[in-house]
Chains A and B, each alone.
Chain A
Amino acid sequence: MSGNLVHTIKDVLFPDRMLLWAIMAGFAIRIAVAPWTSWTYDTYPFYQGIVDQLAGLGPYGHMVYSYPPAFNFIEYPFSIILALFSDPTQWVTFVPSMVEVGRVTNMVVPTVTSPGFNLTYKLPLILADYLCGVLLYRFVRKIKDEDSGRRVFILWFLNPFVIFVSSIYGNFDVLAVFLTLLALYAMYSRRYLSAGLAVGLGVSMKLYPLYLGLFCFAYLVGQVIVNYRTRDDPMGRLKNPIKFIAGAIGGASSIVISVLLNPSLMVFINGRMSNNDMGGINIWGLLRTGNVLFNGSSALPQDEFTLVNTVTSYLMFLILFLILLRVFMMLRSSHERHEEQMIFGSMSVFVVLLLFQPVTHAHYLLWALPFLLLCSLYQHRFEHIVFALSVVGVVFWLALQSYMAFLYPLSVYTGAVPTDLINQVVVDYYAGSMGISAEGARIIPTVIGVGALAFALLPEKLDPAKRLMIFLRGRSHEE
């Protein structure tokens, strides 16, 4: 019995011996960089949430951790283990010399977490990177063949952008990405309860999987309506959306319980719903870029709180409308291509969200990456889009304050790089005294990123990049 269980686990987690080298290389790179790198601005909230948890206050004890609680709960056992070897008082160091840098860039917190803490809190993210890769492999093997599965696994697990987000920058988007991918896998396999559970669990990590949930639910309800006259079991037809919604509610139950026990979470949810900023790699970032180029100002034309709130509210309606439009198109199309439509539909949900939501930080591009990889099985051009977005994601982050801003843990805890040197480089880079300003360095990745996302939404025959390639090939043949 236990032998069977071990065999099953091995089969699920390590499905292909030929991937061993890629797995070992992927883990080795991640474990090597994770302890010595961090983005201080976003790491400190994780630290505070974890130590508040250890202190018995819950994740929101000091209201610094501002995400749904599930990530904190997942981190808890890891932090307990770390605390056996290193007291929490040693997990963070206040570095006075970083205060001035923080004043200049507004993206440095003068509190640097230790290598042990960095590695510990990134471990679940590294594991989720791997689980995503394995799921992609199994998914692709199911759709196509093992060779394609291996290719997609490598494109994911050894992708510098994926490594960067989880192991260097250190944000936990990949946990939600894994659950949304699992939801699609379950939808594809017509396991609607599992799909709902995965979406609900995804929402308990980050709020954005809610959009995939709306898409799936709309699709299932749409199927009930479309098939109303063709089947003779009306109650049976309702089962699928009911299963899905029951799973989603169950999956998100940890949020409900947390809110009931600690209403502080609502402060953050309300805060995120009334976002006051717009930009990043989306159409608003493109507007901002246009303003930089033509008016020399990075501010959006409208920055008043109420106006931005209104615009944001309408944007949400626009996003929902586009999602429903996509569902409508799917339901109108051939039923024989249900699975393919589901994959393309999910991809377009995330791409629409990334393009139109108020803020699209570069690491959010990870949300769409596995879905774009799946689409590449049907249209090779999506591999180019994945390539472009991966480069854009890394370059955009590095362009914010230069790559040196990620090396503070290495500097503070080993002295390998003097902290004053990092401070100087970051300030000089940010101020533009090294020839190119931080604002200027983000223009090209923003334009390429938005372009790549927009191309992903176009039908293959209208994709200008593809038409250009065909044109160029034709020219070279003529010559």
Chain B
Amino acid sequence: MRNKLVLALTALVAVLMVSSIALSGGQPSRPTLSFEELSSGHMVLGYRIPCSNYDQSYSALILGADRIGHGDIYVLITESLDFDVKVSLYTMVDHLNNELRSFGVDSVSSVIGSDSLPKVFSDPQAILICGPSTSLPDYFAAPALHWVERGGLWIGVGESSVPFMYSQSNESNPNATMRLDFTELSYNGGVDGGPTPMATALGFRYVAPDNAFELQDLEALGGRSIGFEYDRDGLLGTAGVIHIGKGSVMVMGGDMGPPPLSTSEEVLAWDLEKVLAFNVPWWTGELTYQIVSSDGSAIESALNSSFTYNGLYASYGVVPRNDAVQSCAVGHYSR
């Protein structure tokens, strides 16, 4: 009996050791892509998605962009933030560092305080993410806007997350010159709402932030809606992109609160990863996509697009739409 107990426990240890070596994960085999511009604006994305043990559903897409690639990602955490928001932002950094690699993006994410903002503002390739109610002092508005105009990407989640923007509840900053009003979003089971083509193409999951911005304000600023849209006594949007100079501002609704998997940091991070991988902040041209699926057999197909806008670049690739298959591939084409 003495030996049997040791043997049984040792066998269990061996099984777990082998499992931890065999199952600790890595990068699943990637789809293969081929991309060609046959004539001006007429592009073809050929792709082959390897077979899987499970049902597969993928989006294949091509979008035109004026710029590709970006620098490192900085997530701003200030003392003024709610404790829960701080935790969510820290968790989001972990998500980005862990998962961006699978899209072939090698940017590194890190947390910074407001004393590091001058360093960020010196790098026009950098990305800065600010959480809801960051409420930076007004003296940051001008340098922040100047940085964006030179090429920076400011991602603001929720109200008071972009210092040069104001809303009806925050009109006191004299250097905030762009108006974007936020309204509480009654999700109501998703009734009278739906995804934009970009949200469908990339399979966004940040579907129900508890507040959203007025789409008419976004459009007045020259922005494009890329998330979900809801009709609630006026159109509301969950995510949008505004080009400013050489840079861009991406605005998102919400306060990073509960519940998980519809409004909180993990789905926010998963959507942001796709946004960054496909250069959506620099999206100026058109978008073509198709959704393909199989019972697990390999998928081999081609996506044709005829862009009328002559953007400088095209970003293309395939991304999974369900959880149990996760191989993806992204590429960029300089025209």
- Write the residues of chain A forming the contact surface with B, with a CB cutoff of 8 angstroms: 8, 41, 44, 48, 51-64, 69-70, 72-73, 76, 83, 87-89, 92, 94, 96-103, 105-106, 108-111, 182, 186, 189, 191, 193-194, 197-198, 200-201, 204, 247, 250-251, 253-255, 257-258, 261-262, 264, 267, 276, 303-305
Give CA–CA (A428, B54) in the complex, Å.
Answer: 40
The 23 listed contacts between A and B (C-beta, < 8 Å) are A53-B23, A56-B25, A56-B28, A61-B25, A61-B99, A63-B99, A69-B19, A73-B19, A73-B23, A76-B19, A96-B190, A96-B207, A97-B189, A99-B259, A99-B262, A101-B259, A102-B259, A110-B261, A111-B261, A194-B5, A250-B10, A250-B13, A257-B20
How many Å lie between the Cα of A41 and that of B262 in the bound state?
A: 13
B108 on the interface (CB 8 Å rule)?
Answer: no
**Complex contact B98–A44 (CB within 8 A):** no
**A429 vs chain B, min Cβ distance (A):** 17
Contact between B258 and A55, CB atoms less than 8 A apart? no
Cβ of A194 and Cβ of B9 under 8 Å apart? yes
B266 pairs with A62, CB closer than 8 A: yes
Q: A251–B86 Cα gap in the complex (Å)?
A: 36
Q: Given A54-B324, A56-B25, A258 and B20 touching (CB < 8 A)?
A: yes
* B residues in contact with A305, CB < 8 Å: 83, 86
Query: Which residues of chain A are near B261, meaning CB under 8 Å?
Result: 44, 94, 109-111
Shortest C-beta distance, B293 to chain A (Å), equals 9
Q: Contact at A57–B326, with CB atoms within 8 Å? A: yes
**In the complex, number of A-B residue pairs with CB atoms less than 8 Å apart:** 184
B326 contacts which chain A residues (CB < 8 A)?
Answer: 52, 55-57, 61
A194:B6 contact, CB within 8 angstroms: yes
| Residues of B within 8 A of A (CB-CB), count | 55
Residues of B within 8 A of A102 (CB): 258-260, 262-263
With both beta carbons as reference points, the residue of chain B lying nearest to A76 in the complex is identified as: B23
Interface string of B248-271 (1 = CB under 8 A from A): 000000000111111100100010
Residues of B within 8 A of A63 (CB): 91, 94-95, 98-99, 266
Chain A residue contacts of B181, Cβ below 8 A = none
Listed in ascending order, the chain B residues whose CB lies under 8 Å from chain A are 2, 4-6, 9-10, 12-13, 15-17, 19-21, 23-28, 53-55, 57, 83, 86-87, 91, 94-95, 98-99, 102, 186-190, 207-208, 210, 257-263, 266, 270, 322-326
Cα(A319)–Cα(B220), bound, Å: 60
A232 to B24, CA, bound (A): 48
Chain B residues with CB under 8 Å of A98's CB are 259
- Given contacts A201-B13, A254-B17, whether A58 and B23 have CB atoms under 8 Å apart is yes
Partner of B13, one of A101, A109, A197, A267: A197
A52 near B25 with CB under 8 A, answer yes
A262 near B25 with CB under 8 A, answer yes
Bound form: Cα–Cα A106–B17 in Å = 36
Contact residues in A for B257 (Cβ distance below 8 Å): 103, 106
Q: Which of the residues A60, A94, A201 comes within 8 Å of B9, measured between beta carbons?
A: A201
